């Protein structure tokens, strides 16, 4: 017996004296229940150890004038009932063990939640329930159509149906029922499946359906291990079946083989599901599908749509999957020991599966009648029923006896108080069952809410049993108490919801498969095969060679510009340096102090100054005067006045360099239009502004772009860093080339950093075969059509637009959002590349995708969110592979230049796409490893490469003697 110290749970009161009070009526099969407001009051048979049977009723006079029981916890009493009869304390004492407190139910809920979560893990712990994947990946969206055959194996018969699904309309069903003889239920399995196949073919023959291919859904209501929609291996028989040669075998294959032996119809067994899954799939509330299936009848079970990433046995963790809980086995390892009563133990001891399915034995109608009988025996022995009289029938399980008036069947002559006492017993048994069912439903809903990371969860639950109003009310009220953040709406099942659900499973599977094929066909041009990646690598190697040679430089799409940076840092650089960083509307001045690593290494101080639009777009002299004013302000604040430090200038605009400290501006970008600058040496423009100020000297040692700065910044930490890469809003790369190969610069000794400007790779048409019509659309509406073609395939400025173009076409083809118009998607730039990083985040992908689409005003289903994520993955994967192929070309060029069998090189990387996208860097690295197997490439992310790198270029120049280095104290 359980403790009664906790606060009791309110029990549900009667609404009228003649309201039903038996478990068989409340949770029995369809057609057994009468409306509680019916004029003919009745009591339904409660004693049942077999399948639920049709009720028999007592005359209303049998109920007598006895007062209805008060709710537990209500004023005036805390027990199950409170009657004016002198025997009432005895009734209270006998029924007391069935009354559970809210704290006890909460403990059961906690244990059930732990058991579910353990059941989803590969390494299961104690108190588990099986949690079996069903491979049902989606609920219906209302567009399912088609004709399907359904085979439903039931306890004593076989139902064959033909279901016509017409979208959101109710299914049109034609069916026939075939009795399954007992000898088939207990004989050889092959004969049972031959019987099913023969019945199926006979059904089709009787309908005179023309010869065609039929898709079949098989409802098989037994415990199975499922490895695919059509693959289910039977674990154990139940419900009176014990056919030999079936346990451990695939029932879908057995049925398919039997159909082929008939050789009269072309029937394909598409799906095998149990009745719980079929129930969930066959119910919906308006346009809202059910995501939980619940059966409480002779037995009990449930299923729900789980986040696939939490099902460890799955290889594919995308989206959701229906999981069959088999929760009837909960408690088999002792998780409910503290609430089990002696009556429950007696029922278990007399069952065919002692110690098994303990939870089911507390709430399934197959067992509730026996619990009620044992309570009646105890009451009779305590003289609280029929003055203590008992009969042999009352002491015997009588589920097989033809139904009669309950007490008369038990050999008793009931009085009005006796009839009312029976009502109390039935009410206590069923109320406990409803409360326990609520604990498990609350655990499931809590699990769903937590896994979906929602503050509130609102789901529809599809019940297979025709819950009586009181059972339903108690279930919902107690579920809300135990899971207040969750709202469960019970959808009323109809006669054919289970059969319709089987057809819907098949229809959803066909819909998803057809959609997958169309989506794959549409996305195929965006996928790069290994051979295509090799082609890109080879094309870039060719363009690099063309760009380095004088006679072909003009035709090359990669500019291969000399930077006059002749070495990378070796760690011996020392001194104080200034750095300027101009790349946008913010301008930065830095003081970079290089010390030995023992003395602290690099120390930097910087300040950011804004460049007003009128300065960026005014006369060039005004812009450079403003830059000099910022330098003066910084030097004053840092106490540098009077010192002339070597300066590195990061100038992130297209320049043609003539020497390390000379850069001819080719054209402004990023909103700058300062006049009188294009075609001029920007270093000289800066020096002229210093001379106009006439207050200090400025020693400009080097002008570099941000890619070179990235390589030099990482080179200080890793001497092997000889490649720079930026993949952010735009993209570019640089590397250390053998000077003998740089025909634009005299000399043959040593090396020089080459600014590839690879964003323009393909502008000469060499990449046309890799451009899709989505890329063409993006290029056509860009600010520079036909230019920077490679950059438009892989950089952050364009990936979001490519995804948007794909989504627009998916909507037009009715593959996304069910073809509903999406005006928001027609807006250029509404889907920025940062959305790809958000949507592809591990663990939160589905939620993040839904949130992004919702913020855009797009009502997305789970399948829509998954499809949008898939598009993002395809586009970002291609970008990463293209970048990796180009980088492999650079690595192989360096290795070949040096005649090495194996090259070890480090790539210094910067850029928001590379750093912030959850998978882009992996795509790049994997592709480099694949295409450059003789190169060991290490990637090192740059910190502040554009500023620190410029100072390091100046420092390296000092080291190799181009300038005098200004050391502290010198």
For 449-504, write each residue's pLDDT tens digit.
Answer: 999 888 999 999 988 665 678 888 999 999 999 999 999 999 876 667 888 899 99
pLDDT digits (tens, 9 = 90+) for 120-143: 987 655 557 889 999 999 999 888
In the set 194, 418, 576, 706, the catalytic residue is: 706
Average pLDDT over residues 926-950: 92
Structure-model confidence comparison of residues 222 and 57, the more confident one: 222
CA 660, 549, 552, 931 torsion-angle sign: negative
Mean pLDDT, the chain, integer? 83
How many CB atoms within 10 Å of residue 933?
11
Helices 342-349 and 365-381, packing angle to 10 deg: 120
Checking if the pLDDT of 47 tops 80, the result is no
Minimum mean pLDDT among 113-117, 155-159, 168-172: which range?
168-172
Tokens of 560: 């291969």
Q: Give the CA dihedral 793, 797, 803, 806, nearest 10 degrees.
A: -70
CA dist., res. 213 & res. 267, Å (int): 6
Q: Which domain holds residue 223?
A: 135-273+497-526
Tell whether 375 and 256 lie within a shared domain.
Answer: no
- Which one, of 385, 401, 396, 482, lies nearest residue 441 by Cα? 482
SS (H, E, C) 772-836: CHHHHHHHHCCCCCCCCCCHHHHCHHHHHHHHHHHHHHHHHCCCCHHHCCCHHHHCCCCCCCHHH
**Is the pLDDT score of 547 beyond 50?**
yes
Cα→Cα distances 572→275, 602, 646, 682, 690, Å:
75, 12, 17, 30, 31
> Lowest mean pLDDT: which of 341-355, 742-756, 833-847?
833-847
The mean pLDDT of 6-16, rounded to a whole number, is 37
Report whether 432 contacts 96 (CB < 8 A).
no
Q: Are 704 and 949 in contact (CB under 8 A)?
A: yes
Q: Specify the CATH number for the domain of residue 728.
A: 3.40.367.20
Query: 105-115 pLDDT, tens per residue?
Result: 999 999 999 99
Taking residues 770-794, report their average pLDDT.
93
- Span 571-588, average pLDDT: 85
Q: Are 470 and 509 members of one domain?
A: no
Place of tokens 């154990």: 236
Pairing of strands 575-582, 646-651: parallel
Rg of the chain on CA atoms, in Å: 39
Asked if residue 952 belongs to a domain, the reply is no
Domain-located, residue 726: yes
Question: Are 449 and 594 part of one and the same domain?
Answer: no
Same domain, 470 and 374: yes
Q: Are 373 and 348 in contact (CB under 8 A)?
A: no
Give dist(CA 757, CA 654) in Å, integer. Answer: 9
Q: What's residue 223's pLDDT?
A: 86
State whether 837 and 861 are in the same domain.
yes
How far apart (Å, rounded) are the C-alpha atoms in residues 201 and 193? 12
CA distances from 842 to 449, 577, 837, 873, 880 (A): 18, 42, 10, 12, 17
3 state DSSP class of 750: coil
139-177 as b/e: b if 16+ CB within 10 A: bbbeebeeebbbbbbeeeebbbbbbebeeeeebeeeeee
- What are the tens digits of pLDDT across the range 700-717? 989 998 899 999 999 988
Residues 6+ apart with CB under 8 A from 155: 51, 239, 240
Give a yes or no: residue 693 inside a domain.
yes
Alpha carbon distances (Å) from 483 to 438, 470, 473, 479? 9, 20, 15, 6
CB-CB contact of 152 with 496 (8 Å):
no
pLDDT category, 409, cuts 50, 70, 90? Answer: low
Q: Is the confidence at residue 792, as pLDDT, over 80? A: yes
Residue (of 245, 221, 249) closest to 235 by Cα position = 249
Contact 349, 397 (CB under 8 A): no
Structure tokens at 685: 């423009």
Q: Write the pLDDT tens digit of every residue in 222-280.
A: 989 898 999 999 998 988 899 999 999 999 999 999 999 998 899 999 999 999 999 99
Q: What is the pLDDT of residue 159?
A: 94
In a 10 Å sphere around its CB, with 0-12 CB exposed, 13-18 middle and 19+ buried, how is residue 39 labelled? Answer: exposed
The reported pLDDT for the residue numbered 666 is 84
Residue 599 covered by a domain:
yes
Shared domain check, 232 and 336: no
Least confident of 256-270, 607-621, 830-844, 899-913: 830-844
Fill in the DSSP letter of residue 962. Answer: S
β-pair partners for 7: none
Residues 936 and 863 both lie in one domain: yes
Q: Same domain for 413 and 502? A: no
pLDDT band (50, 70, 90) for residue 831: very high
Q: How many domains does the structure of the chain reveal? A: 4
Cα–Cα distance between 337 and 334 in angstroms, integer?
5
Q: Residue 62's pLDDT band (boundaries 50, 70, 90)? A: very low
DSSP-assigned states of every residue in 874-917: HHHHHHHHHHHHHHHHHHHHHHHHHT-SSEEEEEEEE-HHHHHS
Of 9, 148, 146, residue with least CA distance to 73: 9
Distance CA 706, CA 708 (A): 6
> Is 4 among the residues known to form the active site?
no
Catalytic residue among 588, 687, 751, 804: 588
- Residue 766 included in any domain: no
Smallest CA-to-CA distance from 216 within 183, 259, 185 is with 259
User: What per-residue string of b and e applies to 770-789 under the rule 16 or more CB within 10 Å gives b?
Assistant: bbbebbebbbeebeeeeebb
Q: Give domain status of residue 168, yes or no.
A: yes
Short-list 38, 217, 46, CA closest to 134: 217
CA dihedral 810, 816, 821, 825 (to 10 degrees): -60
| Better-scored residue on pLDDT, 435 or 92 | 435
The answer on 126 and 154 residing in a single domain is no
Written as one string, the DSSP assignment of 153-210 is E-SSEEEEEEEEEETTEEEEEEEEEEE--HHHHSSBHHHHHHHHHHHHHHHHHHHTPP
pLDDT one-digit tens code per residue, 656-669 = 888 999 999 988 87
Active site annotation includes 588: yes
In a domain, 105, yes or no: yes
Q: Are residues 686 and 812 in the same domain?
A: no
Rounded to 5 degrees, what are φ and ψ at 295?
-120, 125
Asked whether the beta carbons of 411 and 421 are under 8 A apart, the reply is: no
**Active site annotation includes 775:** no
Q: Which two tokens stand for residue 714?
A: 């990482």
> Looking at the domain assignment, is residue 64 inside a domain?
no
Query: DSSP 3-state assignment of 134?
Result: coil
- Considering the domain architecture, whether residues 366 and 266 belong to the same structural domain is answered as no
Mapped onto helix, strand or coil, the DSSP state of residue 581 is: strand
pLDDT exceeds 70 at position 843: no
User: What integer pLDDT is reported at residue 423 of this predicted model?
Assistant: 84
With beta carbons less than 8 A apart as the criterion, state whether 302 and 443 touch.
Answer: no
Q: 154: domain CATH number? A: 3.30.420.40
Q: At which of 662, 684, 704 does a domain end?
A: 704
- φ/ψ of 96, rounded to 5, equals -55, -40
Residue, of 393 and 300, whose pLDDT is higher: 300
**What is the Cα–Cα distance from 32 to 63, expressed in whole angstroms?**
20
Catalytic choice (351, 365, 497, 652): 652
Looking at the structure, do residues 681 and 712 belong to the same domain, yes or no? no
For 288-305, what is the mean pLDDT? Answer: 92
More confident position, 572 or 410? 572
Structure tokens at 406: 């309950």
pLDDT at 494: 66
What pLDDT is stored for residue 323 in this prediction?
95
């Amino acid at each position: 017996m359980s403790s009664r110290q906790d606060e009791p749970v309110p029990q549900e009161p009667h609404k009228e004296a003649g309201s039903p009070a038996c478990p068989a009526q409340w949770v029995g099969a369809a057609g057994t229940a009468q409306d509680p407001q019916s004029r003919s009051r009745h009591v339904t048979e409660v004693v049942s150890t077999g399948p639920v049977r049709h009720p028999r009723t007592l005359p209303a006079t049998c109920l007598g004038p006895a007062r209805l029981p008060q709710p537990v916890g209500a004023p005036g009493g805390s027990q199950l009932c409170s009657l004016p009869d002198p025997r009432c304390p005895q009734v209270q004492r006998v029924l007391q063990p069935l009354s559970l407190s809210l704290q006890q139910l909460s403990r059961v809920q906690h244990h059930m939640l732990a058991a579910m979560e353990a059941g989803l893990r590969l390494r299961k712990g104690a108190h588990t329930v099986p949690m079996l994947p069903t491979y049902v990946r989606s609920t219906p969206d209302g567009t399912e159509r088609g004709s399907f055959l359904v085979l439903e194996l039931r306890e004593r018969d076989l139902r064959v149906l033909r279901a016509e699904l017409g979208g959101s309309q109710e299914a049109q069903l034609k069916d026939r029922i075939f009795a399954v003889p007992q000898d088939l239920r207990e004989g050889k399995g092959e004969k049972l499946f031959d019987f099913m196949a023969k019945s199926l073919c006979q059904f089709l023959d009787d309908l005179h359906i023309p010869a065609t291919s039929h898709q079949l859904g098989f409802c098989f209501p037994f415990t199975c291990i499922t490895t695919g929609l059509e693959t289910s291996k039977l674990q154990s028989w139940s419900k009176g079946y014990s056919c030999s040669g079936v346990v451990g075998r695939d029932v879908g294959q057995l049925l398919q083989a039997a159909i082929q032996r008939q050789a009269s119809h072309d029937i394909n067994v598409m799906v095998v599901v149990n009745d719980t899954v079929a129930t969930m799939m066959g119910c919906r509330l308006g346009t809202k599908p059910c995501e939980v299936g619940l059966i409480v009848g002779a037995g009990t079970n449930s299923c729900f749509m789980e986040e696939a990433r939490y099902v460890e046995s799955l290889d594919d963790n995308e989206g959701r999957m229906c999981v069959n809980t088999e929760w009837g086995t909960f408690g088999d390892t002792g998780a409910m020991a503290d609430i089990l009563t002696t009556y429950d133990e007696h029922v278990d001891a007399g069952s065919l599966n002692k110690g098994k399915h303990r939870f089911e034995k507390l709430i399934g109608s197959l067992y509730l009648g026996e619990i009620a009988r044992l309570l009646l025996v105890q009451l009779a022995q305590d003289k609280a029923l029929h003055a203590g009289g008992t009969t042999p029938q009352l002491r015997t399980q009588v589920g097989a006896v033809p139904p009669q008036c309950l007490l008369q069947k038990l050999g008793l002559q009931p009085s009005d108080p006796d009839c009312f006492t029976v009502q109390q017993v039935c009410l206590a048994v069923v109320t406990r069952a409803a409360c326990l069912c609520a604990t498990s439903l609350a655990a499931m809903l809590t699990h769903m809410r937590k896994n979906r990371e929602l503050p509130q969860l609102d789901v529809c639950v599809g019940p297979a049993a025709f819950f009586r109003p009181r059972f339903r009310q108690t279930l919902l009220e107690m579920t809300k108490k135990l899971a207040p953040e969750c709202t469960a709406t019970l959808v009323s099942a109809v006669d054919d919801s289970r059969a319709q659900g089987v057809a819907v499973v098949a229809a959803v599977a066909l819909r998803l498969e057809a959609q997958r094929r169309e989506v794959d066909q549409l996305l195929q041009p965006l996928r790069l095969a290994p051979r295509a990646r090799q082609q890109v690598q080879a094309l870039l190697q060719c363009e690099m060679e063309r760009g380095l040679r004088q006679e072909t430089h003009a035709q090359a799409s990669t500019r291969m510009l000399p930077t006059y940076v002749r070495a990378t840092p070796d760690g011996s650089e020392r001194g104080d340096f200034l750095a300027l960083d101009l790349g946008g509307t913010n301008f930065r001045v830095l003081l970079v102090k290089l010390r030995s690593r023992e003395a602290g290494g690099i120390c930097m101080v910087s300040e950011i100054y804004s460049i007003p639009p009128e300065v960026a777009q005014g006369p060039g002299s005004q812009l450079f005067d403003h830059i000099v004013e910022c330098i003066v302000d910084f030097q004053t604040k840092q106490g540098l006045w009077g010192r002339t430090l070597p300066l590195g200038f990061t100038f992130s605009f297209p320049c043609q360099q003539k020497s390390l400290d000379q850069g001819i501006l080719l054209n402004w970008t990023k909103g700058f239009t300062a006049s009188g600058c294009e075609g001029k040496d920007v270093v000289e423009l800066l020096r002229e502004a210093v001379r106009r100020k006439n207050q200090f000297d400025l020693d400009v040692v080097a002008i570099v772009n941000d890619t070179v700065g990235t390589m030099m910044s990482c080179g200080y930490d890793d001497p092997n860093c000889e490649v720079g890469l930026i993949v952010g809003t735009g993209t570019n790369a640089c590397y250390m080339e053998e000077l003998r190969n740089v025909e634009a610069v005299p000399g043959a000794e040593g090396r020089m950093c080459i600014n590839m400007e690879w964003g323009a790779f393909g502008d000469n048409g060499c990449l046309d075969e890799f451009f899709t019509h989505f890329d063409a659309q993006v290029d056509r509406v860009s600010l520079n059509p036909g230019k920077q073609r490679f950059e438009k395939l892989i950089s952050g400025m364009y990936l979001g637009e490519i995804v948007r173009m794909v989504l627009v076409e998916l909507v037009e083809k009715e593959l996304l959002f069910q073809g509903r118009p999406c005006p928001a998607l027609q807006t250029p730039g509404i889907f920025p590349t940062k959305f790809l990083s958000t949507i592809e985040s591990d663990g939160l992908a589905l939620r993040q995708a839904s949130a992004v689409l919702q913020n855009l005003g797009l009502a997305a289903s789970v399948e829509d969110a998954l499809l949008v994520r898939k598009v993002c993955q395809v586009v970002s994967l291609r970008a990463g592979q293209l970048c990796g192929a180009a980088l492999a070309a650079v690595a192989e060029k360096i290795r070949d230049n040096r005649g090495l069998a194996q090259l070890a090189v480090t790539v210094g990387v910067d850029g928001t796409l590379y750093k912030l996208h959850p998978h882009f860097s992996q795509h790049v690295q994997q592709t480099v490893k694949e295409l450059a197997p003789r190169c060991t490439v290490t990637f090192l992310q740059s910190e502040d490469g554009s500023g620190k790198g410029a100072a390091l270029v100046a420092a390296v120049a000092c080291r190799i003697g181009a300038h005098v280095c200004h050391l502290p104290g010198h």
